[in-house]
Structure 1
Amino acid sequence: MSVVRANGLSVHMEQLVPPGAGSGAASGPTAVLIHGLAGDNLASWYLSLAHPLAAAGFRVIMYDLRGHGNSERPPEGYTLDDFVDDLAALLAALDVTGPVHLLGNSFGGTVAVGYAARHPERVAAIVAVESSPPTAAWFERVARRLDAAAEHLPHDHVLARISAERGERASRRARVAREVLAATSLARDLPASRLPAEERIAAIRCPTLWLYGGCSAVVDLAPEVRRLLPDARIVTVPGQRHSILIDQPATVRDIVLSWLRRDSGVHPGPGEAAAARDGRDQPPSPAASH
């Protein structure tokens, strides 16, 4: 386990380098993977896109957000600015100086956009899975979900129902979310966040990809993405829910890597073709896009 000090916290992070890169890894493109809130941690990226991105030639950095996974869990300090400050400090601690590709799942995509609004020159591209820019509508939705989780997850019968209806993996994530919400001010701090002005978001000029599940309520926010970022690429995968990154990693991989090659000028790495031949990773029918 790797731990670095960033923004006054002990932050758990992991890195992958391209095959055969050795000490020259820092010269290639860097992808920073940011997970979602409460029940999530860097494992959702490690088990899905981290290795394909490394095979494609990226130096891959994953980290647990403050209060999550194996990172330090302060009782307070969970506004959007806190999360963006942590990302900036982590990149400084790792001596990452060039523009980075930011990939965020759910709230992780919001952190990515928040960082890009503050440091546009430091971001080469953004990939957001089931996410939204930091807008009032999105934060109201996140606040409702956090409030509901804080109210219901302390009850054991709720966890038992989640396990019966959605499986043990969902139950484990719910238990972790219960611990995070009970031990921190996340549910109180995040809705009180200072949001970047819409003009700062609209000024982001790097390529952006927004990926949604067709059966997820978050896809309703896609028009807001289009309004703020009219050049964004928005892809919707029919039949998928908010957990598309975990449920359909091969589909997400192929959409993301194809977009990175076409829209972001990233060339396939020497290990990518071999990685694509590994295992049962053929994607389903092409995603619907708009």
Structure 2
Amino acid sequence: MPEVTARGVRFHVQTCGPGRSESPGPGRSEGRGGSSPDEGPAGPVVVFVHGLAIDNLSSFYYTLAWPVAEAGARCVLYDLRGHGRTERPPTGYSVPDAVADLFAVLDALGHHRVHLVANSFGGAVALNAALAHPGRVAGLALIEAYGPGDGPDWNRDFLNRLAQSALKLEYEWTADLLDPGERRRSRAAATADALLNGTTLLDDLTSTDPVRPAALASVACPVLAIYGQHSDMAEAGRLLRRHVPDCEPHTLTGYAHILLPDGTAEILEVLLPWLAHHAGTRAPAAGAAR
């Protein structure tokens, strides 16, 4: 299993596309940074940042990553702290921590300037990363992204859903212990249970601030914003459209917050041309995403 150690945590990393042979090997660890943009013959670097709890890098690996790699990008996927096959420390789950983790992983891999493709909570990480280090983020493709907000209760519903999930997983885990033959829980559900009920994630996210309109106005890179027609995150999409200087918004008809995997083809129809224009990957043939 490819790994890098960054900020004292072992991160599970996968790569695909041109230059994938530079996947981390022995001795690749934190502290190795680059200073020049990751462009040129090997192709631009596109980094995928997944969502919270039940999610991990596989949601991108089996949907968007390989088509993007086939278009000429070097794709990097990693499991966030505590998710998937990445190590799960008890603390460090705030958005600033996730941003610091992202850049530490990129430093370990030797990537300096990248494009970020982010889903759900990963959007909050990617957006804050672009604000924290604008010279390192060449573009943002945000899919149903959390992060933008302009009120005191911007993350209330999000946190309530996570808390309800934590209670449900804790109950099901107790039921499993009482009757092990009743059900088999998936590895992903077990990981989510340990993450929500065994770390400071919920407390860390409670203190997270939204990215307000004034900060959105300072986003220096081009942004692709993809939201579902029936999404409960529609206001975040509207804020991006109104305040980010270079924002290309898209609404996918018939979808709510969950776009992957069912909306993969529709996402690729807008993502691949956007990457071709802003990152220099190959433009897809008409209808290729389907």
Give the shorter-chain TM-score range.
Answer: 0.7 to 0.9
- Gaps (5+ residues) in structure 1? 161-167, 283-290
Residues 1-290 of structure 1 mapped to structure 2, 5 A cutoff: 1-18=1-18, 27-97=42-112, 99-135=113-149, 137-156=153-172, 174-193=189-208, 198-262=213-277, 264=278, 266-268=280-282, 276=288, 282=290
Q: Residue type of the partner of 1:235?
A: H
After superposition, the C-alpha distances for 1:197-238 in whole angstroms (9 at most, x for unaligned) are 654432112110111111221223322222331431111111
In structure 2, C-alpha distance between the alignment counterparts of 1:12 and 1:251, rounded to whole Å:
28
- TM-score normalised by length of structure 2: 0.81
Tell me, yes or no, if the aligned pair for 2:80 and 2:98 is still in contact at 8 Å: yes
102-111 or 137-146, larger mean C-alpha shift: 137-146
Q: 1:251 aligns to what SS in structure 2?
A: helix
Q: 1:155 aligns to what SS in structure 2?
A: helix
Q: 2:260 aligns to what SS in structure 1?
A: helix
34-43 or 225-234, larger mean C-alpha shift: 225-234
In structure 2, C-alpha distance between the alignment counterparts of 1:87 and 1:266, rounded to whole Å:
23
* Change beyond 3 A, Cα 1:138–1:105: farther
170-179 or 201-210, larger mean C-alpha shift: 170-179
* Change beyond 3 A, Cα 1:214–1:171: farther
* Change beyond 3 A, Cα 1:3–1:141: same
Q: Residue type of the partner of 2:115?
A: H
133-142 or 109-118, larger mean C-alpha shift: 133-142
In structure 2, C-alpha distance between the alignment counterparts of 1:75 and 1:190, rounded to whole Å:
14
- Gaps (5+ residues) in structure 2? 23-38, 177-182
Q: 1:103 aligns to what SS in structure 2?
A: strand
Across the two proteins, how many residue pairs are aligned to each other? 263
After superposition, the C-alpha distances for 1:165-206 in whole angstroms (9 at most, x for unaligned) are xxx9x9875554223211211111111135566544321121
In structure 1, C-alpha distance between the alignment counterparts of 2:279 and 2:45, rounded to whole Å:
13
Tell me, yes or no, if the aligned pair for 1:31 and 1:59 is still in contact at 8 Å: yes
Tell me, yes or no, if the aligned pair for 1:147 and 1:187 is still in contact at 8 Å: yes
In percent, how many aligned pairs have the same letter?
Answer: 38
* Change beyond 3 A, Cα 1:245–1:147: same
In structure 2, C-alpha distance between the alignment counterparts of 1:221 and 1:21, rounded to whole Å:
34
Q: Residue type of the partner of 2:78?
A: Y
* Change beyond 3 A, Cα 1:150–1:127: same
Alpha-carbon shift at residue 258 of structure 1 (Å): 1.7
Q: Residue type of the partner of 1:40?
A: D
RMSD: 3.0
Q: Residue type of the partner of 2:250?
A: V
Matching residue of 1:287: none
In structure 2, C-alpha distance between the alignment counterparts of 1:227 and 1:150, rounded to whole Å:
35
* Change beyond 3 A, Cα 1:130–1:172: farther
Q: 1:149 aligns to what SS in structure 2?
A: helix
* Change beyond 3 A, Cα 1:196–1:239: closer
